[in-house]
Structure 1
Amino acid sequence: MNLKVRFKNPVFIAQIILAVLTPVLAYAGLTAQDLTTWSALGDLLMSAISNPYVLSLVVVSVWNALNDPTTKGLKDSGQALTYRDPK
């Protein structure tokens, strides 16, 4: 997987952040507007880490963000592996 190139793409970074935050916020019954301090975000993430159900939701969301459905398994195509910058 060409993660070095993927992390150069701001859309991918946002997708990973949302893949983590969305299930955590949904389980807690919160919206992004409810997180008004960094300590509130930290507390929310720490409570999510201690909850196996929420962790499994986050893993599935991150898997969906990483997985390329046009290739077999969890890998990029041969062409995508040759990229040095996002196309």
Structure 2
Amino acid sequence: MNLKVRFKNPIFITQLILSIILPMLAYAGIAAEELTTWGKLINLLWDSISNPYVVAMVILSVWNALNDPTTKGLSDSLQAKTYTKPK
């Protein structure tokens, strides 16, 4: 995977962050605007990490963010591997 190029793309970074945060919020049944203090955020993260179901959902969500469905397996195409910046 050409992660160096992917991390230069703000859309990818946003997608990756959301793929981690949204399953946690959904399982807890809260909206993002309810996280008004650092304590609430830390509690949400701790509760999520200690729950195997939420961890599995986060892993699956990150997999979906990383995977390129136009190629076989979990790698980028040969052409995409030659990129030095997002095309």
Report the TM range for the smaller structure's normalisation.
over 0.9
- 1:12 maps to 12
Equivalent residue runs for 1:3-82 within 5 Å = 3-82=3-82
Q: Size of the alignment, in residue pairs?
A: 87
What is the root-mean-square deviation of aligned Cα atoms in Å? Answer: 0.7
- Cα shift readout 1:29-70 (whole Å, capped 9, x = no counterpart): 001111112232122111101100000000010000000000
Normalised by the length of structure 1, the TM-score is: 0.96
List 4+ stretches of structure 1 deviating above 6 A: none
Unaligned runs of 5+ in 1: none
- 1:86 maps to 86
Normalised by the length of structure 2, the TM-score is: 0.96
Unaligned runs of 5+ in 2: none
